[in-house]
Structure 1
Amino acid sequence: MRHAQQGLSFSLGLLFVMLASASTAARADDWSVSGFATLGVGKTVSGVKQDYYGFKCPCYIANYPDVGVYRDSLSLKPDSRAGVQVIYRPSDALSFTGQLTGHAANDMKPTLDWAYASWNLNESLTLQAGRKRLPLFGYSDFFHVGYAYPWIRPPGDLYGWQIVAYNGANLQYRKSIGSLSISANVWAGSESDKDNRMLGQIYYGDKVEEKWKGIVGGFVELSNDWGSLRMVAMTSKVDRFLGTGASRSVNKDGVKQNFYGITGNVDHGNFVLRSEINRFVRPDSPKDIYNIFFLGGGYRFGDWLPMLTYSRFTEDFKDDPTANEKHNTWIATLRWDFRSDTALKFQYDIFKDKSAFPFMGNAKAIAVSLDHVF
């Protein structure tokens, strides 16, 4: 284990150097390269001792989609990641965007987050097609870019969905009226994951194939120099298959699901407010409803931002209350922007598990991260 951790440390350090040096490349006017990296380390400091689908707990899920789980020894895996984005602009109206990200929780195996083409139809409208992140949450587009938000990672009680991207098309609208900026987006597409790590390793203990089809959604965001308000809605159908070979079974077959969300942020003087509330509904029998939110506030002291956040996940499974998942988290963070492109963060999480079934259990975790962008 120690040799594997040392190898991972070397790979992450090398990737940091490569990312930093990449900013000197691709100077042509029609090419641009940018990137990000987070080096994070942490551990649980207390929690329920148990075995949970192969996890030797106490455990704390820092990153649901990538199965980044802290346990009672220091680890770089849950929060460390790095990525590079390349944009090619052959003309003022046309561009191509691609982004690769490597997650330490997945042994830095590169994944394709973005691969799409953009056509500027006019000053306000842009048509895009290809692979993109699903813009369900306020931080979905830059979930991997640790420098972009005050925490080491956005609250896991909200940012823990199994499908985070889609293949399809979208239409963006942007307009400024005085000091007010208006942004809107509508999208349609589908996504298929033949081996969903989050569902398989955290919830079922078996191979899970997940398909979201008929995805249609949209959001509207209003912002000015002191705050923003974002409203989103999406609908789709889901197919889910468990196991392999003769043991393969159908868990969901064309089940309808609807998503609704509101994100509100305030940056007024030194005061910082971050909030998000979501409702996820599968309306047909067996009816399943998820209500999730977080609220956080902080105050800047020069380059320092201390912040306290509370988040909660509540499931209401009408046909089987014994399957309800419920938990909440208190998150204390301290961010230090000691450079214009780099931030150091400290975080302490208190996770309370109130699920009706044996889940991860209560846990407390600490972590430190270094976030860089170029």
Structure 2
Amino acid sequence: MTGLSALAPAGELNFTGFGTVGLGTALSGVKQRYFGFDCPCYIANYPDVGVYGKKLDLGPDSRFGLQATYRLDGGASFTGQVTAHGGNDLKPAMDWAYGSLPLGDAFTLQVGRKRLPLFGYSDFFQVGYAYPWVRPPGDLYGWQIVAYNGANLLYRRNYGGLSVSANVWAGSENDKGNRMLDKIYYDAPVDEKWKGIVGGYLELGTDWGAARFVMMTNKVDRLVSGTVNKSGVKQNFYGLTFNVDHNDWVLRTEFNRFVRPDAPKDIYNVYFVGAGRRFGDWLPMLTYSRFTEDYKDDPTANEKHNTLAATLRWDFRDNMALKLEYDVFKDKSGFPFVGNSKAIAVSVDFTF
């Protein structure tokens, strides 16, 4: 992203921004009333509750953000980022608010509020220009907690043609009134707390691709309408991302496993695989994603669904892209969920 800079006493203040204007609709699907949604409906964005119905809608995929970074002469910096999403009536939310302190040439200590770096696109989830789809596959990018308050130690160094990034973090998040759990899963007020978060990732990159390995553990407390639903439930996360950009060919993959190991044991296996080829400024892709829950104590409570997405991206100007996406969503859940649907959306992504 390019930015606007302003000199400030003993440092420099820099602003960058991004946005997506998206328009879409659910073309067809199961006709039903699901909680507060009239279906056919398609969940384009789980964390921000961006849901398409039968009418053309600007809300589910439209989002805007502004980031400010203040750098001190000694190398330390402070970063804040505010975003607003159409699925939440464009109410501003603080995604990032942290300080950074370089420790030598390769290490950086960061303290404050950051997005949880569980997924390959976690850091750029709101920045539509950063990825080929209108939005990352919802089957995978659909967890209720996306940020944490704490500290992390980041390592970055190049070894010849190999770039190495590693990060370890620790902290917690207490989300009172979690919109995703409330609107999509419980139809009731939900308070969600993730405590004792400890995680890390290793990313290796070359000029033709990158691989990323991630692990995290924490415990969950959940209140539904003020009643305890979960208390100190342990969960472990494991993830692998592998991407290729070579001779105009593009491959995007991500594989995740989410395990709550204590009885009653609950396991989530989630992945997507996408491939395409660049033709100048154009990138057509096909992407398949799948979410599968394995809750052996009650199979009727299992959530299962998959999506086939056909996308087309056109980089028609510097820092601007036009995208078209057609999604076919298959709902195979053991309980009455949103049902099958087909949806289409078009977006313009930009940075400044």
User: Which letter maps to 1:288?
Assistant: D
CA contact (8 A) 1:38 1:371 kept: yes
User: Which letter maps to 1:202?
Assistant: I
> Equivalents in 1 of 2:305, 2:200: separation in Å?
28
> Equivalents in 2 of 1:223, 1:373: separation in Å?
24
Give the equivalent residue in structure 1 for 2:241. Answer: 263
Give the equivalent residue in structure 2 for 1:289. Answer: 267
Give the equivalent residue in structure 1 for 2:116. Answer: 134
> Equivalents in 2 of 1:323, 1:341: separation in Å?
44
> Equivalents in 1 of 2:36, 2:71: separation in Å?
47
Query: How big is each residue's C-alpha offset from its partner over 1:189-217, in whole Å with a ceiling of 9 and x where there is no partner?
Result: 00001100000110001000000000000
Post-superposition shift, 1:227? 0.2
Give the equivalent residue in structure 1 for 2:190. Answer: 208
Is 2:254 aligned against 1:272?
no
Partner secondary structure for residue 198 of structure 1: helix
Q: How does 1:192-231 map to 2 (within 5 A)?
A: 192-231=174-213
2:166 to 184, 192, 195: 184
CA contact (8 A) 1:211 1:239 kept: yes
Give the equivalent residue in structure 2 for 1:342. Answer: 320
Query: How big is each residue's C-alpha offset from its partner over 1:83-109, in whole Å with a ceiling of 9 and x where there is no partner?
Result: 000000012420000000011111111
Give the equivalent residue in structure 1 for 2:93. Answer: 111
Is 2:61 aligned against 1:79?
yes
> Equivalents in 1 of 2:157, 2:6: separation in Å?
31
Partner secondary structure for residue 222 of structure 2: strand
Is 2:51 aligned against 1:69?
yes
Give the equivalent residue in structure 2 for 1:155. Answer: 137
Partner secondary structure for residue 141 of structure 1: helix
> Equivalents in 1 of 2:6, 2:235: separation in Å?
43
Partner secondary structure for residue 225 of structure 1: coil
2:26 to 37, 41, 44: 44
CA contact (8 A) 1:208 1:241 kept: yes
Post-superposition shift, 1:307? 0.3
Give the equivalent residue in structure 2 for 1:144. Answer: 126
> Equivalents in 1 of 2:324, 2:165: separation in Å?
33
Q: How does 1:324-343 map to 2 (within 5 A)?
A: 324-343=302-321
Q: Which runs of 5+ in 2 are unaligned?
A: none
- Structure 1 residues 24, 180: CA separation in 2 closer, same or farther (over 3 Å shift)? closer
> Equivalents in 2 of 1:170, 1:357: separation in Å?
39
Q: What is the root-mean-square deviation of aligned Cα atoms in Å?
A: 1.2
Post-superposition shift, 1:26? 2.8
TM-score, scaled relative to structure 1 = 0.92
User: Which letter maps to 1:297?
Assistant: A
Partner secondary structure for residue 159 of structure 1: coil
> Equivalents in 1 of 2:115, 2:191: separation in Å?
19
> Equivalents in 1 of 2:236, 2:66: separation in Å?
32
Post-superposition shift, 1:236? 0.1
User: Which letter maps to 1:218?
Assistant: G
CA contact (8 A) 1:93 1:121 kept: no
Is 2:351 aligned against 1:373?
yes
Partner secondary structure for residue 185 of structure 2: helix
Comparing 25-34 and 217-226, the one that deviates more: 25-34
> Equivalents in 2 of 1:221, 1:340: separation in Å?
28
Query: How big is each residue's C-alpha offset from its partner over 1:61-92, in whole Å with a ceiling of 9 and x where there is no partner?
Result: 00000000000000000000000000000124
User: Which letter maps to 2:342?
Assistant: K
Identity rate, percent: 69
Query: How big is each residue's C-alpha offset from its partner over 1:41-65, in whole Å with a ceiling of 9 and x where there is no partner?
Result: 0001000000001211001000000
More strand by share: 2
2:149 to 122, 146, 167: 167
More helix by share: 1
> Equivalents in 2 of 1:39, 1:25: separation in Å?
25
2:6 to 26, 38, 42: 26
User: Which letter maps to 2:49?
Assistant: V
2:279 to 301, 308, 313: 301
Comparing 230-239 and 24-33, the one that deviates more: 24-33
Query: How big is each residue's C-alpha offset from its partner over 1:292-325, in whole Å with a ceiling of 9 and x where there is no partner?
Result: 0000000000000000000000000021111000
**Structure 1 residue runs of 4 or more that deviate by more than 6 Å after TM superposition:** none
Query: How big is each residue's C-alpha offset from its partner over 1:155-202, in whole Å with a ceiling of 9 and x where there is no partner?
Result: 000000000000000000011100000000000000001100000110
CA contact (8 A) 2:178 2:189 kept: yes
